[in-house]
Amino acid sequence: MILTTKRLLLREFVEDDWHAVLAYQSDPRYFRYYSFTQRSAEDAQAFVHRFISWQKERPRTRFQLAVTLPAEGRLIGSCGVRMVANDAVEAELGYEFDPSFWGQGYATEAARTMAAYGFKQLELHRIWAACLAENIASVRVLEKIGMKPEGRLRENRWMKNRWWDMLVYGLLESEL
């Protein structure tokens, strides 16, 4: 499966992508809002392998694509939707990008295209996402693609020796 946007090409992960994933997941800016503080080659390999295993699902319910810059083929992040069951009418949206490419609208561009794929090709009714309330960049991406705030889960995540709030956002097919 391949999706294209104005500046990006989203393609299926291949095993060798773990090198590029490890390179950006080792940047401290990347894991600021994650529980871990370092990544190993094994972590990156497992991360990529999980998405490759989703490609074999029949019917397929989970999609996480490698986001690349088409000119040089460079992997700069990933973006996907995950249904909870194959008859699901809703899916969760998720993304992450190489910090070297933040702030250029790439996450917004990829997330918007992935949401459109979810509504048009997967015939979803609702796409939702959850992110740490303090992860302002992620909140902005969700807002920019038109997602509406649906709630705040107060202190529902314990990591880095403290509690964190999470925000839930949702988008309906009629709102795309």
Give all strands of the β-sheet with 2-4 in edge-to-edge order: 2-4, 9-12, 62-69, 74-83, 90-97, 126-132, 162-172, 148-159
> Which residues have C-beta within 8 Å of that of residue 25, sequence separation ≥ 6?
31, 39, 43, 44, 47
The interface mask with ligand COA, positions 36-55, x = CB under 6 A, is --------------------
- Give the nearer residue to ligand COA in terms of CB position, either 86 or 163: 163
Closest CA to 108 of 134, 83, 132, 129: 129
Find the shortest distance in angstroms from Cβ 79 to ligand COA.
Answer: 8
The sign one gets for the Cα dihedral 138, 142, 46, 158 is positive
Q: Which of 51, 96, 118, 164 binds ligand COA (CB under 6 A)?
A: 96
Answer yes or no whether residue 97 interacts with ligand COA by CB under 6 A.
Answer: yes
Q: Does 169 participate in binding ligand COA (rule CB under 6 A)?
A: no
- Dihedral sign for Cα 166, 87, 125, 111, please: positive
Q: How far is the CB of 143 from ligand COA (least distance, A)?
A: 8
Q: Is residue 138 near ligand COA by the rule CB under 6 A?
A: yes
The minimum distance between CB 112 and ligand COA, in angstroms, equals 9
Pairing mode of beta strands 62-69, 9-12: antiparallel
The window from 36-44, 63-71, 98-106, 112-120 that contacts ligand COA (CB under 6 A) reads: 98-106
For binding to ligand COA (CB under 6 A), which residues are involved? 30, 33, 95-97, 102-108, 131, 135-138, 140-141
